[in-house]
Amino acid sequence: METIRVLLVDDFWMIRDETRRILEQCPDLAVVGEAEDGQQALQLAERLQPDVMLLDIRLPKVGGIEVVKQLKQLSPGTKALILSAFDDDDYILALMDAGALGYLLKTARAAELIDAVRRVHRGEPVLHAAIAAKVARLWTRHRTVTDRELSGPLSPREREVIQLAAKGLRNKAIAEKLNISNRTVEGHFNSIFNKLGASSRLEAVLYVISHNIVNLDEEGDST
């Protein structure tokens, strides 16, 4: 069994202790270090090269957004998962731009936290439907992609593909779910990008959510 190595970053020791207790109930999760500020987090990340960094946004010395930005140079294999009490609009957009793969609130249940760490380690974005909808509204205000008109309607299969992508599935998982090949999935994404005028998977996902082209509550969940 592969062990996922996690670095905890929070300025409150009680939060770190409780998070460690939750994660270490699982044999595939191991907390390899703890940091109480952003500077220490970057130093430990460079030395330990963890699989996942679980961090708050508001940190002493170096803020969480800057930590995520610098993480790509110091420990490129480390995925960033935010665990915070804050869901301010500016934080969400900045963290997306910085490269964080997940965003959880500290009210998340233990099972949600464990699942999020595993999914982020696999490279899957962790966006609850409510957070994804909020991000899409923010994207509408900050990106021109949502102002573009479709060059053509999405086919039923393309809608299935982009809906599964919006739920966090990568190409291989989408292919298995729909019983098609990876190459076919890639072809569907190329068509979707052309129709939406989008240049990335994220732009496409946010477009279809903000325009109600897909509904994340429909069947086809990633679990």
| Residue range of the domain that includes 39 | 4-126
Residue 141 pLDDT > 70: no
Task: Supply the mean pLDDT for the chain.
Answer: 84
Which residue, 126, 156, 191, sits at the end of a domain? 126
Q: Which helix (H) or strand (E) holds 171?
A: helix 171-178
How many angstroms separate the CA atoms of 28 and 188, rounded?
A: 34
Mean pLDDT of 64-91: 88
Same structural domain, 169 and 192: yes
Same structural domain, 118 and 161: no
Which residue, 68, 93, 126, sits at the end of a domain? 126
Mean pLDDT of 50-62: 95
Same structural domain, 181 and 105: no
pTM: 0.66
Please report the pLDDT score of residue 191 as a whole number: 93
Same structural domain, 176 and 71: no
pLDDT band at 108 (very low <50, low <70, confident <90, very high): confident
Same structural domain, 150 and 202: yes
The CATH number for 84's domain is: 3.40.50.2300
Same structural domain, 108 and 150: no
Please report the pLDDT score of residue 80 as a whole number: 94
**Do the Cβ atoms of 32 and 57 come closer than 8 Å?**
no
Q: Which helix (H) or strand (E) holds 33?
A: strand 29-35
Q: Is residue 73 part of a domain?
A: yes
How many angstroms separate the CA atoms of 100 and 123, rounded?
A: 11
Q: At what angle do helices 89-98 and 64-74 cross, to 10 degrees?
A: 10
Q: What are the pLDDT digits (tens) for 193-223?
A: 898 877 667 677 777 776 777 765 554 443 3
Name the domain count of the chain.
Answer: 2
The CATH number for 203's domain is: 1.10.10.10
Mean pLDDT of 76-96: 82
Query: How many percent of the chain have pLDDT more than 90?
Result: 50
Mean pLDDT of 37-56: 97
